[in-house]
Amino acid sequence: MIKLFKQYYRVISYLFFGVLTTVINIGVFAALQLLTAWNYQVETVIAWFLSVLFAYITNKLWVFSSHTTGLKAFFTEMSSFFFFRLLSLVMELVIMWIGVSLLKQNAIVVKVVDNVVVIVANYVFSKVFIFRKR
């Protein structure tokens, strides 16, 4: 069991922190839905920003164990992370627009569905482009 955990540590920890990131994303979105009269896309961006900040910290420290040295390397890595997360934000906004505006579905249900797509895309971006072994 321990051998399997060590072998799949990166995927397991990504899924664990991905679930927490998703909870933050959907939780903030749902809270804004209940507490404000803002447009769902504004709420999506706010929820995205807070969850991406959490995701960067957890991915850097525990999922990919990235140890950058110096400010330049840190900002390069962080910029890369946020750039690829911006791509997933665009995916998220498109999915939300299709689900809520075109298909007239419940915004929170669409948000849950869009997070499944985004989690997979973000793992690929992180593994291949951001925290790759140099």
Which is more confident, 67 or 107?
107
pLDDT of residue 132 exceeding 70, the answer is no
Question: Which residues constitute the domain of residue 11?
Answer: 2-130
The model's pTM: 0.81
CA dihedral (38, 26, 64, 84) positive or negative: negative
The amino acid occupying position 58 is: T
pLDDT of residue 90 exceeding 90, the answer is yes
Percent of all residues in the chain with a pLDDT value above 90, rounded to a whole number:
51
pLDDT of residue 134 exceeding 70, the answer is no
**What does the angle CA 47 – CA 20 – CA 83 come to, to the nearest 5 degrees?**
50
Distance of CA 12 to the CA centre of its chain: 16
Total domains present in the chain: 1
pLDDT of residue 58 exceeding 70, the answer is yes
37 and 18 in contact (C-beta within 8 Å)? no
Q: Please give the structure tokens belonging to residue 100.
A: 């809520």
Q: What is the mean pLDDT of residues 31-35?
A: 96
* 58, containing H or E segment: helix 40-58
pLDDT of residue 3 exceeding 80, the answer is yes
Whole-number Å distance between alpha carbons of 1 and 101? 46
The count of residues in the chain is: 134
Whole-number Å distance between alpha carbons of 24 and 100? 20
Q: For residue 1, with 0-12 CB atoms within 10 Å meaning exposed, 13-18 middle and 19 or more buried, which class applies? A: exposed
